[in-house]
Structure 1
Amino acid sequence: MSEENQRIDMHSHYYGGGLVDALRARQKRPYLRIRDDGAEMMVAMNGEFPFTEHYHDYMVGLADMKATGLTHRMLTFPGALGVDLLPVDEIATAIYDYNDFLAQLTKDTEGALIGLAGLPLADMDLACAEVRRIRRDLGLPGVILPSDYFNTLADMEEMRPLLKAANDYGCHIMLHPGLKVGEEPPARPTDNMQYRLSAVDLQSGASQVALTVILSDMLDAFPNITFQIVNLGGTLPFILERIESIARHRNPDEPFPTGRLRRLWYDCASLGPRALETAVKVLGADRIMLGSDYPIFKDDPYAHAVVPADLSEDEKAQVIWKTAQDLFALLEDKRQAALR
């Protein structure tokens, strides 16, 4: 297959790899239950949803990819579910098995499916050891971390030991909406919950995370880590000019470090052509990647977001495959340098 025919989905989730059995055995959130009509339901932190085969059968996912023309997909541990926050004696073995499964799945599918691992975050020493293992021994590109650890500079400090470990072999980190260990879900809105939580709050949260990373020392302290901010960086592309104005008028001696936004990577999951156009202008196509958020969303990101966008063919190619391919090549270079 020529490079020009590649379509690389860099934001999807996978609940299989042994997690299903662990979740069926639980009685507290998160867990799986059978509804009276026989449907299996995932009881998550903020409600429940039908747990269809799209969530845990990778063959169904591969069929979806074929139908939409995707050639590669990055699966991630279901970070928003909160499984990685559970006590290690309940979940660590299941997480290790899941990561092993992802590594084998990459081999079995000849690289069509690539995985971001989960970590047992309730024990920082174990989490650090596992992030080294998944890069050194399993060769997975990286991990997914709950973004609530990156809401503020103080929150981010809790992750410093893990970031030090991730830096050892080069590591990709997707910062995805999710709680910290011991953190309770926020109070639900009293109305229009889906829109307020899953759109307005989520997008604002992604912006907070990006701000934390670029306004900290983390990019310089851990140069072998690549950070992925989901959903085009939230609202950032649309409010950046206001942020820069605030800096000009209130902190004239400290201009906002806009250029540091281009040291992060972004995906366009669950967004459309108008948002993508703006993000490309602000962040650059060479920092933006295709994303579906499958199986939560099932739109074809290529047809839905890229094809209708007013972008050049070169910019579309960057988003569709080249940014992701360049990122994977960079990560592998960092890993091989550490192994030598």
Structure 2
Amino acid sequence: MVPAAADKRYGTRRCTCGVDIHAHIVPATFPSYLKGPRPTGWPSTEAAQPCHRHVVIDGRNYRTVSDRCWDVPKRLSDMEHMGLSLQAISAMPELMSYWMDAAPADELLRYINDQIAIMVDDSAGRLVGLGAVPLQDMDLALAELRRLMGNPGFAGVQLGSNVNGKPIGAPEFDPFFEAAEELGAAVFVHAVRPAGQDRLVGPTQLQQVLAYPGEVGLAAASVICSNLMLRWPRLRIAFSHGGGTLGLLLPRLEEGRRVFPALQDSIAMSPTEQARRLFYDALVYDEPTLRHLTSLFGETQIMVGTDYPFNFHERNPVERIEAAFADEATRRWLLHDNAATFLGRNARPAT
């Protein structure tokens, strides 16, 4: 294996001890839909040189991705360079397909989850799965959740921040969270089709850069305002991109709860106390911001997240945490101990 220092994309890591809970996959190919006309949103891939593929959705190139999205040996090599001992893998968010009719979405997600399972099996214990479920149909979502949690290669699921515009804190999703708590499934929430895209001025990449944090913050706030963690206190739920804007929203929520009787009646516990029961990744690209989030949410609630293997990802997650914190105990919490708690029985001991 090439020494870490030889890979110019990554820094010289000092340990291979990080557990990454935010990384994605795209299958190299997708099956054809054989039960009639291709459903709206059904993906395909086209070869691109030298080792990339275009992900084509509804006749347009949604994104061009590299073979690191499906090539396990290359992924494991990069994990060494990044200082990672374990990585939780989930589908590219656009593949969650909430906007598709439920039956074909279920078929597509089962295929994607089976591809994740193959990658986990080929990883010699270095990868663990976070599957996808068709949350637009509760019965199908619950059935796929139970199937996934019967496979020891999966620790839980990735959910979108909203389901066709409905925030995940909406009461109609309670049966899913009840089942996730019962089954011990970790739930990782990622921004998908964010609100406010029409307010962005510039290239489409600003969706990832600017719209995702606001969307994640609103999703986390919906969980707090609906008292989700009070109803399902053993649920393990994490939010991508450091919880997005939630850290800025919390003081306003606290003051609003003091000022408005309606908020006192509807939010049963301090928003900050509720926020400290959630998990967050450390994907904020800035040491002062990371220290602020750790002081706000608690050192036991922040975990490594990279968004690998897309271009806009954290290339040196271990160095980022080591630069932010001198205390060895805090580093251990953020690098692997918190992820072991979040992922549960599927987390391997970090080396």
What TM-score comes out, normalization by structure 2 length? 0.78
Report sequence identity in percent.
23
In structure 2, distance between residues paired with 1:199 and 1:213: 23
Letter in 1 for 2:83: G
In the alignment, structure 1 segments of 5+ residues that lack a partner are 333-340
Q: Number of matched residues?
A: 323
In the alignment, which residue of structure 1 is the partner of 2:22?
11
In the alignment, which residue of structure 1 is the partner of 2:321?
306
Alpha-carbon distance, 1:37 to partner: 7.6
Q: 1:167 aligns with which of 170, 178, 181?
A: 181
After superposing on structure 2, the runs of 4+ consecutive aligned residues of structure 1 that deviate more than 6 Å are 23-27, 35-39, 150-155
Distance 1:36 1:53, change over 3 A: closer
Alpha-carbon distance, 1:137 to partner: 4.3
Letter in 1 for 2:227: D
Q: Deviations over 1:162-208 (max 9, x none)?
A: 223323312111111125xxxx9876446224465223321111111
Matches within 5 A, 1:108-123: 108-123=122-137
Q: Deviations over 1:135-179 (max 9, x none)?
A: 134451111111114976796223223223323312111111125
Q: Deviations over 1:83-128 (max 9, x none)?
A: 3543344343342243244345434423210110111334321211
In the alignment, which residue of structure 2 is the partner of 1:338?
none
Distance 1:187 1:71, change over 3 A: closer
Distance 1:212 1:36, change over 3 A: closer
In the alignment, which residue of structure 1 is the partner of 2:139?
125
User: Are 2:77 and 1:63 equivalent residues in the alignment?
Assistant: yes
Q: 1:21 aligns with which of 22, 27, 30?
A: 30
Q: 1:31 aligns with which of 43, 61, 67?
A: 43
In the alignment, which residue of structure 2 is the partner of 1:87?
101
User: Are 2:338 and 1:323 equivalent residues in the alignment?
Assistant: yes
Confirm or deny: 8 A CA contact 1:238 1:278 kept in the other structure: no
Distance 1:316 1:47, change over 3 A: farther
Alpha-carbon distance, 1:302 to partner: 2.2
In the alignment, structure 2 segments of 5+ residues that lack a partner are 1-14
User: Are 2:287 and 1:273 equivalent residues in the alignment?
Assistant: yes
Matches within 5 A, 1:115-264: 115-138=129-152, 140-149=154-163, 156-179=170-193, 188-189=198-199, 191-194=201-204, 196-250=206-260, 254=264, 256-264=270-278
User: Are 2:304 and 1:290 equivalent residues in the alignment?
Assistant: yes
In structure 2, distance between residues paired with 1:107 and 1:36: 27
In structure 2, distance between residues paired with 1:275 and 1:36: 38
What secondary structure, in the 3-state scheme, does the structure 2 residue paired with 1:51 have? strand
Over aligned residues, Cα RMSD in angstroms?
3.5
> By percentage of residues, which structure has more helix?
1
Q: 1:40 aligns with which of 53, 59, 77?
A: 53
Distance 1:155 1:22, change over 3 A: farther
Confirm or deny: 8 A CA contact 1:145 1:175 kept in the other structure: yes
What secondary structure, in the 3-state scheme, does the structure 2 residue paired with 1:308 have? helix
What TM-score comes out, normalization by structure 1 length? 0.80
